[in-house]
């Protein structure tokens, strides 16, 4: 669906800025909204997001505004790129300021801590009607801003909405794939941040590449168990928003969650580590909500339990991670424990 109407990107952090730059690259008209008027004034003065995404000039075609009603007026669609904890309040404010039935694309990853709701569930709670889509996949903001090759999933239960946002973002260096599994895509974007903290801890403790690969693989198994219980599709977790995003986030220090794990392994206190990173680490915020959600579903997630013990209960990181390997032997896949033994 081609349109000359502007897109409103809500959230002027690194991710919102990068997505706005991708839309501009595709010759779309874009309004970038942020709630911090002083920060927006600095962005406008320097035409650069020096705090969250330094090194990239903001083209004149990118309009900056702190007026939410102006950002939404006449928009073709709305992209939400705010932290998970700010999603509800941003949507509520947008609803008061003219959001109406505009199609929304949620690029937020995580869970709401108080309710354990996924981003699309929060959106449905705030706005029961109107089309929505999710954007997720292995996509560091800086690389998107650089125009480096990136592939993401855009999932929606409404075909027209999926195609509209996929067309808006798709370009020579930014490939969009369509999906329909909102729960699977959202769970992948939330759980991978938690597992990435564990991978960072493992790397920081010098536990080796084998241990990192085991954590990622068994972390994926935990994600799949929870997802299938909640009605998600297995193939979603084998795709960009599942294993793709998990590998990226758990193996590279561009990931704030991976960096957090490394800093904690060095003995840096949690608050100091988060302050040093300087931006939200969604894995820390997601973990309590993930625990609430998986306990309600009665799904076994031992890596998640171990990370909860480390981050929220003061458990020793090395002992906790090594303890995962000391658990009773079990089958890797359901039914594998019934493999016929070879005759003597």
**Digit-coded pLDDT (tens) for 160-199:** 999 999 999 999 999 999 999 999 999 999 999 999 999 9
Q: Which of 2, 97, 109, 192 is catalytic?
A: 192
Q: Which of 192, 87, 227, 104 is closest to 154 using CA atoms?
A: 104
The pLDDT, as a whole number, for residue 327 is 63
DSSP conformation class of 83: -
pLDDT for 324 equals: 86
So what's the pLDDT on residue 339? Answer: 43
CA 197/CA 88 separation, integer angstroms = 25
> For residue 344, what pLDDT is reported?
43
Give the C-alpha separation, 149 to 146, whole Å. Answer: 9
| Catalytic residue list contains 192 | yes
DSSP H or E stretch at residue 183: helix 182-204
pLDDT value, residue 333: 65
Looking up tokens 């840096």, which residue turns up?
268
Taking the domains of the chain in order of start, what are their residue ranges? 7-180, 190-325
Question: What CATH number is given for 190-325 in this structure?
Answer: 1.10.1040.10
Residues 10-31: tens digit of each pLDDT: 999 999 999 999 999 999 999 9
What is 7-180's CATH superfamily? Answer: NAD(P)-binding Rossmann-like Domain (3.40.50.720)
Q: Give pLDDT tens digits for 119-159.
A: 999 999 999 999 999 999 999 999 999 999 999 999 999 99
Tell me: the pLDDT tens digits for 285-299? 999 999 999 999 999
């Amino acid at each position: 669906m081609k349109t000359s109407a502007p897109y409103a990107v809500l959230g002027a952090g690194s991710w919102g800025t990068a997505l706005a730059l991708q839309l501009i690259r595709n010759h779309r008209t874009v309004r970038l909204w942020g709630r911090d008027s002083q920060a927006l004034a600095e962005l406008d003065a320097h035409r650069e997001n020096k705090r969250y995404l330094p090194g990239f000039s903001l083209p004149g075609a990118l309009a900056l505004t702190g007026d939410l009603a102006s950002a939404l007026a006449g928009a073709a669609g709305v992209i939400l790129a705010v932290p998970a904890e700010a999603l509800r309040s941003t949507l509520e404010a947008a609803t008061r300021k003219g959001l109406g039935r505009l199609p929304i694309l949620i690029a937020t990853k995580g869970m709401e801590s108080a309710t354990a709701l996924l981003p699309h569930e929060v959106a449905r709670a705030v706005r029961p009607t109107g089309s929505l889509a999710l954007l997720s996949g292995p996509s560091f903001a800086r690389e998107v801003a650089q125009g480096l090759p990136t592939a993401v999933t855009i999932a929606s239960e409404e075909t027209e909405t999926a195609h509209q946002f996929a067309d808006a973002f798709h370009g020579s260096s930014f490939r969009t794939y369509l999906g329909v599994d909102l729960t699977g895509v959202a769970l992948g974007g939330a759980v991978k941040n938690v597992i990435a903290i564990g991978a960072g801890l493992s790397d920081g403790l010098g536990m080796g590449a084998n241990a990192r690969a085991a954590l990622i693989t068994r972390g994926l198994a935990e994600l799949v168990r929870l997802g299938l219980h909640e009605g998600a599709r297995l193939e979603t977790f084998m795709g960009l928003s599942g294993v793709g995003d998990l590998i990226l986030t758990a193996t590279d220090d561009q990931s704030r969650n991976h960096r957090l794990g490394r800093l904690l392994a060095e003995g840096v206190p949690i608050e100091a580590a988060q302050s040093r990173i300087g931006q939200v680490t969604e894995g820390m915020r997601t973990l309590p909500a993930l625990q609430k959600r998986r306990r309600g579903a009665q799904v076994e997630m031992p890596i998640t339990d171990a990370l909860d013990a480390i981050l929220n209960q003061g458990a020793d990181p090395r002992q906790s991670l090594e303890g995962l390997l000391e658990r009773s032997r079990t089958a890797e896949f359901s039914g594998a424990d019934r493999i016929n033994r070879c005759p003597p």
